Structure 1
Amino acid sequence: MALSAYDLTGRTAFVTGAGSGIGRASAVLLAGAGARVHCADRDADGLDGTAALIEDRGGTARVHTVGVTDRSGLAEAVRSCGRLDALAAIAGIMHSGPVLETRDEDLDRVLNVNFKGVLYACQEAARLMLAHGTRGSIVTMASGAVDTGGAGLLCYGAAKAAVVQLTKTPATELGPHGVRVNAVAPGWIRTPMTARPGRAARARTEAVTTRMTPLGRVGEPDDVAHAVLYPASDASAFTTGQILRPNGGVAMPW
């Protein structure tokens, strides 16, 4: 396939969680492919940093300081695109804790961001694409946790498993309208979110992950951003309802 299939010149993309980590890397890469990128995040300073990276490289960025749980604010931001060709719903939070100590507020907080926030973004993007007859692409962010499980991952893993269903069902419903929906399920990626438990905890986790991963390293945000670009572009014109796994080989589902 010609590399032009990855060319997003003249198209508009909306990225949630664009203030740092995988969201920032994806927004920068989509802009580098030619897209006008709308960047959404609660972190205004992070958004400014992402926009600066995009504009320093000759790209076009617009920022929206809004969280994905703010349904009306998010809807307004998405609609401001006018026409939308690609959504990358990347915003998410991490939570870990024993099953027997899981509280309602823990589950609610994670589901609100990691599932409902993705749902809101997907709904608004799909409505805009259908209104304009756009043969667009929606990319959701799942996790390698849906394949491997792990102690302490009840809330996070459950929300990400729900995102998988939030990929397959819309793919079925929107496919006849020319809208594709795919998920990216990364392995352990070195981001600000995975750094929050502390330097020592992160070092231990990365050491274990490196030993378990056939490619012998943990991932970087750019590793995942390239997996976002593929379903966001025409290169994936016959791909929908699928899960892409940039995980270094740590999980190889059938």
Structure 2
Amino acid sequence: MIELPSTPSFSLAGKRVLVTGASSGIGLACATALAEAGGEVVLAARREEKLKEAVEALNGRGWNASALQLDIADVLEVQVSVERHGPFDVLVNSAGLARHTPATQTTPEDFDAVMNVNLRGAYFITQCVAKGLIEAGRPGSLINMSSQMAHVGGIDRAVYCASKFAVEGFTKAMALEFGPKQVRVNTICPTFIRTPFTEQTFDNPERVKWIEQKIKLGRTGVVEDIMGAVLYLASDASSLVTGTSMLIDGGWTAD
């Protein structure tokens, strides 16, 4: 009699999950997927009212969700909050900032604002959640929402690209350090996804035409395109995956 393998579990039952940037868009979609899979999800963001609405909607489905007002650019606040509310088995850092201008017009203020959220904030929240897991002797999965722009260049996106390329770098380095402790670190790299964050881009018909030409599957992304990927990386189904990026770009970077 042939012995068949068992499909790994996608369940997050018994797992504590922290999702930042969770009040809308990709972050809220990730929180939804992980709560539906049975995770105890803490939604973190700066906008308290939006957070409350999101938590009420998730709890209304019978899922386990709570709110944490948090600005990941404030490293001290992050350290205190993660220590107080952790340890978390899963981190999904979806907080992000973009200020697109030609490179010759980048101001120090714009550069610092983007880096403080996309790089500095991402680095230290990943560090804090990892420390909590390692001190507790628990395995975990840490996921940063990166971008296809972490793998290619983009017009008017020099600062944004720089921040995301750097996230890919520290992801690989942390994966090497934390691997022996069974703490995995990965990124998800979406193409252009329709969210409130990207409204300005999608309001420009010429820009949309350019995007659709670059995406080989011929359509822009929606938040649902991210939900399966984040569930995979958060769950034991990806237990041998670390130090890498999952590109959800419709073939943009395949050229």
In the superposition, the TM-score normalised over structure 1's length comes to 0.94
Q: Give the count of matched residue pairs.
A: 251
Matched AA of 2:222: E
Q: Distance in 1 between matches of 2:7 and 2:118?
A: 33
Deviation at 1:167, TM superposition (A): 0.7
Residue 203 of structure 2 aligns to a residue whose secondary structure is helix
Corresponding residue for 1:9? Answer: 13
Aligned-residue identity in percent: 35
State the Cα distance separating 1:249 from its structure 2 match: 1.2
Alignment of 1:1-254 (within 5 A): 5-195=9-199, 197=200, 200-201=203-204, 203-252=205-254
Unaligned runs of 5+ in 2: none
Where do 5+ consecutive residues of structure 1 fail to align? none
Tell me if the contact between 1:14 and 1:78 (Cα under 8 Å) persists in the aligned partners: no
Alpha-carbon RMSD? 1.6
Contact 1:12 1:81 survives alignment (8 Å): no
Tell me whether 96-105 or 3-12 shows the greater mean CA deviation. Answer: 3-12
Cα distance in 2 between the residues matched to 1:15 and 1:235: 19
C-alpha contact (below 8 Å) 1:96/1:152 kept by paired residues: yes
Moved more, 89-98 or 210-219: 210-219
Q: Secondary structure at the match of 2:155?
A: coil
Whether the aligned pair in 2 keeps the contact of 1:171 and 1:240 (CA below 8 Å) is yes
Contact 1:141 1:163 in 2 (8 A): no
Cα distance 1:3–1:14, how it changes in 2: closer, same or farther (>3 A)? farther
Q: Which whole-Å CA distance do the structure 2 matches of 1:177 and 1:143 have between them?
A: 27
Answer yes or no: is the 8 Å Cα contact 2:201–2:208 preserved in 1.
no
Question: Alpha-carbon deviations, 1:175-224, whole Å to 9, x = none?
Answer: 011100011111111111111x36632x4322321222221111111211
State the Cα distance separating 1:248 from its structure 2 match. Answer: 1.1
TM-score by length of 2: 0.93
Question: Aligned equivalents of 2:54 and 2:6: distance in 1?
Answer: 29
Checking the alignment, whether the CA contact within 8 Å between 2:194 and 2:202 is kept in structure 1 is: no
**Higher-Rg member (1/2):** 2
CA displacement, residues 127-154 of structure 1 (integer Å, 9 cap, x when unaligned):
1100111110100111111223111001
- After superposing the two structures, state which structure 1 stretch, 103-112 or 46-55, moved more: 46-55
